[in-house]
Amino acid sequence: MPALESHVIVGAGAAGAKAAETLREEGFTGSVLLVGEEPGPPYARPPLSKEVLLGRADPESARLHEESWYRDRDITLMIDTAATALDRREHRVGLSDGSRLRYDRLLLATGSSPRRTRVPGTGLAGVHTLRTIDDARALHGLLSRGDRRVVVVGAGWIGLEAAAAARRYGNRVAVVEAEATPLYGTLGPEAGRIFADLHRGKGVECLFEDGLFAIRGEGGEGEVGHVVTSRGAELPADLVVLAVGGAPRDGLARAAGLRTDDGVVVDSALRTEDPDVFAAGDVARFYHPLYRRHLRVEHWANAIDGGAAAARSMLGRDVVHDRLPYRFTHQYEQAMEFSGRAEPGSYDRVLVRGDISAGSYLVFWLSAGRLTAALSVNTPGATGTLQSLIRSGVPVDPDALTEPRRPLAQLIPS
């Protein structure tokens, strides 16, 4: 009788957990080992910068499943264990406890980590990043005091969410951003200005087209005292949140000779050039058939869909991972969903439906008359239609798009 196969997943986050679940759902009866360096079972990160920072949810409630859930499915969850080496010839993964795991198929789902900057002072007490449950717990404890002077460096999704949470408690908040508008690389300047107005309206001091020059300590205690910006502003600070983007954790793949390019390079079935090694989630730079190029997507839905797709691919099924990039965010009273791609240069027109000041509206990005991306704000249920419209690739009538009485579904070709 042939020996049962063994599939190993490195990285016990969203993508890894979903892949393990899918292997079982698809009827795989061999062993499934899910290896994660963090101390507990996999959890969702999106609540960390929202409900957890706002004190509305206990961090433990972000766990995807109890440990028993994994046992019930015969998934071996190896927490507190890092994969330290990958030997592709021997089909083995070296672990931090000195042991080696044999695999038939391996999934790299190692995620990303907050980008660091080399600016002086980032090692001072009071300088934080936000990635893990522990980060969120620590930040919540400080922000909830409500009397902190907080400087957020980086006006991306996580920086803006942290700024919103910090303001909710009444802290004094400044955001320092290199570009002229928030989320510039993702949404371009037009929608970025909407985010800038939103945060300014909530009392956030916005220092745009400025950068982090140094973080200075105070009183010789190794505590943060000031943030100095590139333009020379001196911002008093008790707390600094560094939110300057994520770096893929692709070191294991690179050391094993796999192709990396700011992420592990995979095809649309999430396969590396090694037929037994796959990658999914934040760490994967996958070929997206719709855009005809490789993309790395640091969003929750991509980790879940990608984890499931990678598992099927590991089992030899025909898989095309081609979901539209999609992200949700909550800032103040606004629940937002963004679909598609809208980086500067990818569109030639931006339109709005609804009333921005009333906090309920849609933003559309068009290229050559076709919808390439959309943001829905406090408009539940719009995303499915918007995604179909983006996918259809048909020219859309701008007047119909911006006319609130015209149902969006009517614009989708039948």
Ligand X SMILES: Cc1cc2nc3c(=O)[nH]c(=O)nc-3n(C[C@H](O)[C@H](O)[C@H](O)COP(=O)(O)OP(=O)(O)OC[C@H]3O[C@@H](n4cnc5c(N)ncnc54)[C@H](O)[C@@H]3O)c2cc1C
Q: Applying CB under 6 A, which residues contact ligand X?
A: 10-16, 35-38, 45-46, 48-49, 82-83, 109-112, 130-131, 158, 249, 252, 281-282, 298-301, 303, 327-329
Q: How far is CA 405 from the centre of its chain?
A: 34
CA distance 164 to 32: 40
Tell me which long-range contacts 214-218 makes (C-beta under 8 A, separation of at least 24): 214/119, 214/120, 214/121, 215/119, 215/120, 215/121, 215/122, 215/124, 215/127, 215/240, 216/121, 217/121, 217/124
CA distance 184 to 97: 43
Q: Which residue is nearest to ligand X (CB)?
A: 13
Beta carbon nearer to ligand X, 210 or 282 = 282
CB of 340 to ligand X, least distance (A): 14
The single residue listed with the structure tokens 């049962």 is 4
Beta carbon nearer to ligand X, 229 or 379 = 379
CB of 10 to ligand X, least distance (A): 5
CB of 405 to ligand X, least distance (A): 31
Query: Which residues are registered as beta bridge partners of 9?
Result: 34, 107
CB of 52 to ligand X, least distance (A): 9
Beta carbon nearer to ligand X, 49 or 260 = 49
Beta carbon nearer to ligand X, 111 or 121 = 111
CB of 396 to ligand X, least distance (A): 25
Beta carbon nearer to ligand X, 109 or 324 = 109
CA distance 130 to 122: 14
Q: How many residues comprise the chain? A: 414
Beta carbon nearer to ligand X, 373 or 411 = 373
Residue 408 in tokens: 């969006």
CB of 149 to ligand X, least distance (A): 22
CA distance 332 to 352: 20
Beta carbon nearer to ligand X, 12 or 204 = 12
CB of 43 to ligand X, least distance (A): 8
CB of 250 to ligand X, least distance (A): 10
Beta carbon nearer to ligand X, 241 or 411 = 241
- Nearest residue to 285 (alpha-carbon basis) of 268, 307, 300, 310: 268
